[in-house]
A and B are shown apart, each in its own frame.
Chain A
């Protein structure tokens, strides 16, 4: 399955809903989406990964790049993920310490540091 992307606003956050497979072939699409959002002034982003079926380290690299971009504007990038097979990749690479990971979009949107 290819990558699907959609965005919507909730409160002062931008929610990006990602579905399908994030790999070396599809990751550039997600990267472009995150760059476009930041360029348009959206600095508080929630990435909903509940419909992601596959994620590899190329996808992790794009999320890290997105985090660096929003942080340059004092923004935030939060993830929504409860799938064990996806969470495992974040744990293996130590990225659970880098990204705030939430169990629902509502929780992520309500969260403040």
Chain B
């Protein structure tokens, strides 16, 4: 995957951290630690960091599983962008595919945990892959209000964003503490 140039906003460079990692399950943990750390520095409220961790972990797990099956030599890209009022995370994989079925209950039925193992991803069925993608995306959609998933010719980008806590002139947080109100 090509490294992306830092986005610019007029003359100002938008603060961005990009991490490429080989698709190893152990690196998913590293990815979520980095994302939470960058999110905290950017001003994402502490109460929301658990959700950042989980959503990034879901997106990275999905990408790692797919890469191990289809593109084991290609790194997964994690991109974190500190925009004006929101913190955006993108997880890009290099495995072109169709959008999975949109039925979580069916997905739970189809999950076959034979595919969950260090060396078995390649052997798991496409129904299982799709089912687990659907469940992973359901978790992300349940946690994050601002989500876009783009199925592109070269792979898929899962983009998630959280509002930043904006300090007013007295330094007190005034931004909405949203993001912690996932449907239940």
- Measured between beta carbons, the chain A residues less than 8 angstroms from B104 are 93-94
Q: How many residues of B contact A (CB 8 A)?
A: 32
C-alpha spacing A28/B25, complex, angstroms:
11
From A9-17, A41-49, A60-68, A71-79, the one touching the partner chain is: A60-68
Residue tally, chain A, CB below 8 Å to B: 26
Could you tell me if B116 and A64 are in contact, using CB atoms closer than 8 angstroms? no
Q: Which residues of B contact A85 (CB under 8 A)?
A: 50
Given A31-B116, A92-B143: A24 and B138 interface contact (C-beta under 8 Å): no
Question: Given A21-B29, A27-B116, do A98 and B58 touch, yes or no (CB 8 Å)?
Answer: no
Q: Which of A54, A65, A89 contacts B116 (CB 8 A)?
A: A65
Given contacts A24-B28, A94-B108, contact A56 B113 (CB under 8 A): no
Please measure, in the bound complex, the distance between the C-alpha atom of A3 and the C-alpha atom of B83, giving whole angstroms. 35
Mark contacts of B24-68 with chain A using CB atoms, 8 A cut-off: 1 yes-contact digit, 0 otherwise.
011011000000000000000000001001100110010011000
A61 to B108: give the CA distance in the assembly, Å. 8
A86 CB to nearest chain B CB (Å)? 10
Chain B residues near A27: list those with CB within 8 A: 116
The docked-state distance in angstroms from the alpha carbon of A36 to that of B182 is 36
Q: List 21 A-B contacts (CB under 8 A).
A: A23-B57, A24-B64, A25-B29, A28-B116, A28-B117, A28-B118, A31-B116, A57-B58, A57-B132, A57-B138, A61-B135, A64-B108, A64-B113, A65-B114, A65-B116, A88-B184, A92-B139, A93-B135, A93-B138, A93-B139, A98-B108
User: Which positions in B face A, CB cutoff 8 Å?
Assistant: 25-26, 28-29, 50, 53-54, 57-58, 61, 64-65, 104-105, 108, 111-114, 116-118, 132, 135-136, 138-139, 142-143, 182-184
